[in-house]
Amino acid sequence: MKVRFSSPKEHSPNHDNGLQVLYGPGRRVAYRLRWYLILALVSAPLVWVCSRLLIDAVLVEAPAQLSLSSLEVRALDTGIVEELPVRVGSRVKKGQLLLRLQNPEWNLRLQQLSPIRATGKDPLGQASRALQTNAVELQQRTVNLYRKLQRSGGLTSAELLQAEAQLNGQRLAELELGRRLHQEQYHWHGAPIDQVRAERERQWLTARLKLLTYTAQKSGRIAEVNVQQGENVGPGSLLMRIEQAEPPTLWIYLQPQAGQNAKPGRRVDVLMPNGSWRAARILEQADLARRPPSGLPGAWAAEGLALRIPARFLEPLPAMWRVDQLPLKVRFPQPWLSVLTPGDG
C-alpha cells in the first residue's frame, strides 16, 4: 500500500470521487473539535501537575490551625456539684457565678467545732462563790479589828498572826473554788488551748469552703462543661472551659527551609473552609519548633518538626469560623505576584 501524504480532499473538500458533497466542511469541523477534546483530556493531568509545580515555586503554602484564647476552670478540692447555673454556649460576665461545690464532711466538722453556749445558770456554783466571798470579807474585818486591839495592848501578836493565817486560808479556798467551777465549764467549752485550736480549724474550714464557689474571672462564652449537678469531683478535675472574648490566634506551621518568609508584619492569605480567602498578618518571629498537630492539610505535616508562627486576622472573624483547632491553609504571596493573589473573602 502506498502511503499518500497529500489527498485531493484536502484541496477539494466539497467533492468526493467526482461528486459534490455539501456536508464535507461540517464533518471536518466535527472531527477537529473531537480531536481538540481528546487532546485537552490527555493533557489536563500534565497541565495540572505543571501548574502546581509552578505555584509551589513562586508561592509558599503551609498548614495552620486556629486557636481561641480559653480559660480552664479546675476543681481545687474534693466536692459535690451543688449548683451549676451555666450551660454550653452561655455568655458570662466577670464576677458571674459559674459553679458551686459542697463538701459534706467539712460542713459537718464545722458544725462540730461551733462553740456551745450552756443554757441556764449554775445556782449552786454562784451560791458557793457568794458564801466564800462573804467569808473572806468577814475574816478581813476580824483581822482589821485584831490589829487595832494589838496596837492598844489588848491582844497578843500570836492571836493577830493566827487571824491573818485564817484570812489567807479563806482567800486560798476562794481561789480553789473558782478554779473548780471553771474546770466544770470545760465540759461545755473545752480547755483554753482546745478553744484556740478549734477556732483556728473553724477559720481554715471556712476559707476552704469559700474556695468551692467559682466565679468568672473574665467575660466570655462557655465552650465546654464537663460536670453535672450532683457529680463528685476531685482536686484538679476539669470543670469547664471558657472562651474569652479576644481575637483568635492563627498558628502557622512552616517548614524550616522556608523560615525566611515568616517575617513579623508580613501579610498572608488564609483559605477558609468555604473556599473564601481572608488576610492575616504575622505577629512575631518563630521561637518554637514542634511537630504539627494531626489532621492539618499538607502531606509534610507528619514528617517532622516545623516552625510555629503566630498570626492574627486583619478583620474580625465571623462567629461561624470561631472554632477552636480549626484546620486551615495559609499562603505566603510574593510581593511581585500581588496581582495574582486572591483577595479577602
CA distances 257 to 52, 254, 260, 261, Å, are 19, 8, 8, 9
Q: How far apart are CA 256 and CA 140, in angstroms?
A: 102
The H or E element containing residue 16 is: strand 15-16
Q: Which residues of the chain have pLDDT under 70?
A: 1-31, 52-58, 115-122, 182-192, 194, 297-303, 334-345
CA 142, distance to chain mean position in Å, is 81
Query: With respect to CATH, is domain 60-69+245-337 assigned 2.40.30.170?
Result: yes
Query: Residue 132 in contact with residue 170, Cβ under 8 Å?
Result: yes
Assessment of whether the complete model's pTM goes beyond 0.85: no
281 touches 267 (CB < 8 A) = yes
Instruction: Locate the domains of the chain by residue range.
Output: 8-49, 60-69+245-337, 123-184
Task: Check if the beta carbon of residue 75 is closer than 8 Å to that of residue 329.
Answer: no
Instruction: Could you list the beta-strand ranges (E) of 104-234.
Output: 213-215, 220-225, 232-233
Predicted local confidence at residue 312, as pLDDT: 92
The pLDDT value recorded for residue 1 is: 47
Partnered with residue 224 across adjacent β-strands are: 241
What pLDDT, on a 0 to 100 scale, did the predictor assign at position 193? 72
Nearest to 149 by CA among 169, 141, 136: 141
**What is the model's pLDDT at position 17?**
65
Sheet arrangement for strand 91-92: 70-74, 238-244, 220-225, 91-92
Task: Check if the beta carbon of residue 275 is closer than 8 Å to that of residue 74.
Answer: no
pLDDT of residue 107: 85
What pLDDT, on the 0 to 100 scale, is given for residue 298?
Answer: 61
User: What pLDDT is recorded for position 261?
Assistant: 80
